[in-house]
């Protein structure tokens, strides 16, 4: 019984392998030809990010284009180079 539990535990997915699987999954979800926009798109309100923030923005449409409100936006600060927003629009 103990040997069986050890074998079950040993076959579990490692953190490193899980990380690889998640990266691969995310890469598939992001379109290859996305377009960067200078600043936050007009009419778009992002939580805790002023509209005049100097940044680059990419809009990633939902996989299922029939669903509304599932647009994904990522903003990168022009000053720091860090992602300042990554979420739904």
* Domain total in the chain: 1
Residue 38: phi and psi, rounded to 5, are -80, 110
Q: What is the pLDDT of residue 67?
A: 60
- Closest alpha carbon to 63 in 28, 15, 17: 28
- The per-residue b/e assignment along 46-59, b for 16 or more CB within 10 angstroms, e otherwise, is beebeeebebebee
Q: Could you list the residue range(s) of the whole structural domain that residue 53 is in?
A: 2-88
Sequential pLDDT tens for the chain (89 residues): 565 555 565 567 778 888 888 888 888 777 777 788 999 988 888 889 999 999 999 888 777 666 666 778 899 999 999 999 998 87
């Amino acid at each position: 019984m103990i040997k069986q539990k050890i074998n079950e535990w040993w076959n579990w997915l490692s953190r490193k392998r899980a990380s690889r699987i998640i990266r691969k999954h995310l890469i598939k979800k992001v379109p290859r030809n996305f377009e960067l926009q200078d600043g936050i798109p007009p009419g778009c309100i992002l939580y805790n990010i002023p509209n005049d923030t100097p940044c680059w923005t990419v809009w990633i449409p939902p996989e299922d284009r029939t669903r509304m409100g599932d647009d994904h936006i990522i903003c990168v600060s022009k000053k720091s180079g860090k992602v300042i927003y990554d979420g739904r629009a």
